[in-house]
Amino acid sequence: QVQLVESGGGLVQAGGSLRLSCAASGRTSSITRMTWFRQAPGKEREFAAGIRWRSGITYYADSVKGRFTITRDNAKNMVFLQMNSLKPEDTAVYYCAAGSVTYAEYDMDYWGIGTLVTVSS
């Protein structure tokens, strides 16, 4: 089992920045991919960013590319999402997830409970 705990959400004005953190514990050796998903009010959950645990290769949704940066600290078993130039449409609950196959939501084996990001206009 792997436990994931997110932190760093909050309220920010449009154009501002936030940094989300995700701490992983437990059987982390089984993880090859760490991801951030998000779910806006009234919408389905969607992929935002992912990172390969060992290589650090990253992958982004078009909606966040150039504004968000995902990084990891292998020694501390942590993943981060730096979010810049935030827009009101970035308002969502952000979930940290871990898997070992692809970045698809159905391939994620473990999920955090989420952290709310609210961007005011």
- Give dist(CA 54, CA 44) in Å, integer: 29
Comparing 9 with 30, the larger pLDDT belongs to 9
pLDDT at 30: 85
Tell me if 82 sits within 8 A of 8, measured CB to CB: no
pLDDT at 98: 96
Judged by phi (left if over 0) then psi (alpha if -120 to 50, else beta), residue 26 lies in: left
pLDDT in tens, 65-117: 999 999 999 999 999 999 999 999 999 999 999 998 889 999 999 999 999 99
DSSP states of 22-42 as a string?
EEEEESGGG--EEEEEEE-TT
pLDDT in tens, 27-71: 988 889 999 999 999 999 999 999 999 999 999 999 999 999 999
pLDDT at 38: 98
pLDDT at 28: 86
Is a pLDDT exceeding 90 seen at residue 14? yes
